[in-house]
Structures are given as structure tokens and as C-alpha cells.
Amino acid sequence: MAPWALLSPGVLVRTGHTVLTWGITLVLFLHDTELRRWEEQGEPLLPLTFLLLVLGSLLLYLAVSLMDPGYVDMQPQPQEELKEEHMAMVPQVAVLRRCRYCLVLQPLRTRHCQECRRCVRRYDHHCPWMENCVGERNHPLFVAYLALQLVVLLWALNLAWSGLRFFQPWGQWLRSSGLLCATFLLLCLFAMVAGLLLASHLYLVASNTTTWEFMASHRIAYLRQRASNPFDRGLIRNLARFFCGWPSGSWETLWAEEEEQEEGSCQAV
């Protein structure tokens, strides 16, 4: 590995996240919080559980940030070229287009990410805290990470609060609790962000849409002339497809089914 690769944005961001995670955990253990009291009382189960949750959230973070989010193959295979010809012959299916940056044939719901310089299937957004895109392959893990991270942050908030002592002279309080108070405020900020992100993504998952589609539906060719979301199949099926991949099938097929239903309802009227 080249030396400058160690200073890449991805390495710096992931290292910063790891250091911050264990730094906050260390602060909670060093101060007079419930974690320390449990240790002193010979009750290691809860501190060990907290450590395992922290480790789990960190591993999920690294998995989401390092895995392929669903990049489109840069070298089209022969079957993809045949599919392109087939799409041009069947008017009921949304017309696919070529990316103007990497020139690959983009499946439906795909967008080119300027930061990653790749086209991503079912593109949701590029996360700067992950230094990676959130797309078709890692979006379920991203939601799981947000849920676990929020649990860890709320527990850490309670632990930090348990160690704060307010009825002390200012100078003594600053020396004994200043760092813990700063940690508490930082945890409040992180918990609010994680909670808002989790709520918004659960809403998007429940309606089978993405952040990009929600924010820019008026700019997306396959959505701007539609009265409703062509991929929404109800809460249960949306959740089953998102987390379990069932029922399977291409987005082009779902789009075509919705198109046929709309045409049928128009003809009936």
C-alpha cells in the first residue's frame, strides 16, 4: 500500500470514528458512572454487555463503510447488451439510459455517485461519515447500524448523566466532571442525529423509496410523471423485500406492472 493511501479520506474518517467511539467508552469507564460502580460491586455482566454493543455497532459501521454498496459492473456482459436491446423493443418497460460519466447502462433506480465515481444500484445517498455510498447491497445493514448505534448512544447518555455531580465548587466540578459533561453534550448531538436518520430511513423503507427519489422525484425520469410511487407494494412486502430480498424481481418489472395498472384504470374510466 502506498504511504499516501493511509491519508485517504476513507481511512481518516473510519479511524476518527473508531477513536471517538472507544474514547467516549473510556471516559464513561474512568469517571464515577454506573459502569464503574457495577465493576466495583463485582457485577461485570452489564459493563460487558455495553462493551459488546459498542463493539457490535463499530463492526456494523465498518461493514457498511467498506462493502460494495451495489456498484454497476463497469464492463457490460453480453446478456446485459441483449437486455438493452430487449428494453428498446418492449414499450411497457421503462427505457434504460447510459451514464454520461462512466457510460454503463443504468438499471432502474441507479444513480452515478460523483464521490465514488461509480453508478450505484438503488442509490440512496453518499454518506460522508461512512465515506461510502448507501445503496442496494448495504442499505439494510445501514439501517441496522443506525438502530444499534441509537441504542448504544441512549445507554451511554444515561451512563454519562449518572456520573455528573452538580453541587460542587466550580473549579472542582470542572476538574472532576468537565470532560464527562462535554462527553454528555456530544452524545446528545449524536443521539439526535442517529434518531432522526433512523426515523427517516424507516419511513423511506416502509414506502419503498430512497432518499434520492424522495428529494428529487421531480428530476427523475421514471418518477416525475407518475401520480404515485411505482415501487410501493404495501408495508409488509416493502419490509420483506428490503430486509429479506423477498419477493424477488427487477425494479423494471415492478415499474411495468404499475404502468399497466395505471393504463387499465384510465381505460376503465
Residue 25 to residue 72: CA distance in whole angstroms: 39
> Any idea what the Cα angle at residue 188 is, between residues 14 and 69, rounded to 5°?
35
> Which residue type, as a one-letter code, is found at position 204?
L
**Residue in 113, 119, 127, 133 annotated catalytic:** 127
Residue 214 · residue 204 · CB < 8 Å: yes
Q: Identify the pLDDT of residue 76.
A: 53
Which one, of 41, 51, 40, 33, lies nearest residue 176 by Cα? 33
Q: How many CA atoms lie within 13 A of 73 on its CB side?
A: 7
The per-residue b/e assignment along 186-196, b for 16 or more CB within 10 angstroms, e otherwise, is bbeebbeebee
Residue 13 to residue 197: CA distance in whole angstroms: 19
Residue 153 to residue 57: CA distance in whole angstroms: 10
Question: DSSP states of 179-233 as a string?
Answer: HHHHHHHHHHHHHHHHHHHHHHHHHHHHTT--HHHHH-GGG-TTTTT-SS-TT--
Residue 201 to residue 239: CA distance in whole angstroms: 12
Which one, of 195, 209, 95, lies nearest residue 152 by Cα? 195
Local structure of 112: helix, strand or coil? strand
State yes or no: is 113 an active-site residue. no
Which one, of 259, 239, 243, lies nearest residue 251 by Cα? 259
> Which residue type, as a one-letter code, is found at position 237?
R
Instruction: Give the start-to-end residue ranges of the domains of the chain.
Output: 17-67+138-206, 71-129, 227-269
Q: Identify the pLDDT of residue 255.
A: 83
Series of mean pLDDT values for 10-residue runs along the chain (269 residues): 66 95 96 90 93 98 97 68 46 72 92 95 96 97 98 97 82 82 96 98 97 93 85 94 88 79 56
Q: Identify the pLDDT of residue 55.
A: 98
Residue 105 · residue 112 · CB < 8 Å: no
Q: How many CB atoms lie within 10 A of CB 52?
A: 10
What are the grid coordinates assigned to 164, written together? 455528573
